[in-house]
């Protein structure tokens, strides 16, 4: 079975898919278009990566085309998706423990089952008090997500990584925490609105606030506010965080930053409220 045919069958089995397609060809066209949009590629750039003409890419993305994408091109698209995903998500922080390097090498070699097996084994044997525990959980989530995007096990590891954030201190811990928060926030923004997305956002916001409680750095409160503004969390969360930032930094300082940065645009209406307007 070809790669996109398998993806199409998985899509067809879903009880409540995000989008319904009339046929496999329409699904193929949307899959290629989504691949480009997710990674910010032009049709020309994808054509170069796939070793085909721009016209071929245009035909791939045309749902009215009656010709399916050839199996060897589907395999190339699968590999391109993987390469782009790894480039976007995987950061090897130094010093890098040997087991993280091993997980990275297994991912790069397309050995997903081996990577998942190693990640699961490591999480069962490493004590949670180990300073590398949050990074290991983050990598376990990565290897499960690339093998089975959005799987329950990947989400469990992601939540566990966020829960472990803030337990350690020092420069390396800060770098690991930033990697975890940044990676999960980027993933969150790409997810369609759903209860799972809102739950993920709540865990991410809680991690930012826990880091603020530990270090008292206002940047973490700003990160929490961005999560609240750019996801489906309630406006009450936005107002609460704005009020806390205003108490820390002054309402005028907060107002200037909110109006200068479009990441907080949905929170601007709060400054019409008497409590924040003065």
Give the model's confidence band at 228: pLDDT under 50 very low, under 70 low, under 90 confident, else very high.
very high
pLDDT band at 275 (very low <50, low <70, confident <90, very high): low
**Tokens 């995987």 belong to which residue?**
90
Whether pTM exceeds 0.75 = no
Q: What are the tens digits of pLDDT across the range 106-131?
A: 988 889 899 999 999 999 999 998 98
Residue 232 Cα distances to 7, 16, 170, 187, 206, angstroms:
28, 20, 33, 14, 15
Burial 56-89 (b: 16+ CB within 10 A, else e): bbebbbbeeeeeebeeebbebbbebbeebbeeeb
Token readout for 110 is 């397309």
Residue spans of the domains in the chain: they are 3-87
Q: Which two tokens stand for residue 276?
A: 């924040």
Closest CA to 99 of 130, 60, 54: 130
Is the pLDDT higher at 16 or at 221?
221
Contact criterion met (CB below 8 Å) for 53 and 44? no
According to the model, what pLDDT value does residue 21 have?
Answer: 86
d(CA 101, CA 120) in angstroms, rounded, equals: 15
pLDDT digits (tens, 9 = 90+) for 138-184: 999 999 988 887 788 999 999 999 999 888 777 778 888 888 998 88
Question: Mean pLDDT over all residues of the chain?
Answer: 88
Residue 189 has pLDDT above 60, yes or no: yes
Q: Band of the pLDDT at 240, cuts 50, 70, 90?
A: very high
- Give the pLDDT confidence score for residue 218 in this predicted structure: 94
Q: Which residues contact 153 (CB under 8 A, 6 or more apart)?
A: 144
pLDDT of residue 51: 95
Fold classification of 3-87 (topology level): 434 Repressor (Amino-terminal Domain) (1.10.260)
- Going by C-alpha positions, the residue among 131, 129, 151, 132 that lies closest to residue 141 is 151
CA dist 3 and 32 (Å) reads 12
Inform me whether the pLDDT recorded for 90 exceeds 90.
no
């Amino acid at each position: 079975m070809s790669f996109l045919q398998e993806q199409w069958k998985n899509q067809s089995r879903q009880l409540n898919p995000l989008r319904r397609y009339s046929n496999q060809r329409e699904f193929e066209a949307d899959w290629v278009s989504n691949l480009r949009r997710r990674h910010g590629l032009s049709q020309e750039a994808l054509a170069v990566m796939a070793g085909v003409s721009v016209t071929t890419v245009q035909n791939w993305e045309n749902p009215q085309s009656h010709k399916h994408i050839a199996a060897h091109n589907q395999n190339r698209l699968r590999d391109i998706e993987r390469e782009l995903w790894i480039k976007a998500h995987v950061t090897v922080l130094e010093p890098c423990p040997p087991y993280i390097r091993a997980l990275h090498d297994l991912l790069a070699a397309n050995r997903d089952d081996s990577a998942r097996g190693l990640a699961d084994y490591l999480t069962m044997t490493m004590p949670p008090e180990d300073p590398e525990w949050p990074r290991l959980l983050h990598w376990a989530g990565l290897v499960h997500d690339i093998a089975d995007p959005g799987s329950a096990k990947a989400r469990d590891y992601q939540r566990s990584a966020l829960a472990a954030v803030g337990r350690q201190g020092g420069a390396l811990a800060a770098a690991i925490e930033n990697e975890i928060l940044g990676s999960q926030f980027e993933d969150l923004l790409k997810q369609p609105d759903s209860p799972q997305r809102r739950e993920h956002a709540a865990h991410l916001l809680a991690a930012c606030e826990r880091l603020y409680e530990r270090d008292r750095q206002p940047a973490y409160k700003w990160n929490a506010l961005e999560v609240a503004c750019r996801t489906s969390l309630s406006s009450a969360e936005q107002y609460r965080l704005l009020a806390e930032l205003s108490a820390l930094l002054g309402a005028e300082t907060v107002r200037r930053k909110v109006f200068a940065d479009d990441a907080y645009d949905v929170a601007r209406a709060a400054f019409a409220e008497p409590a924040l307007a003065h």
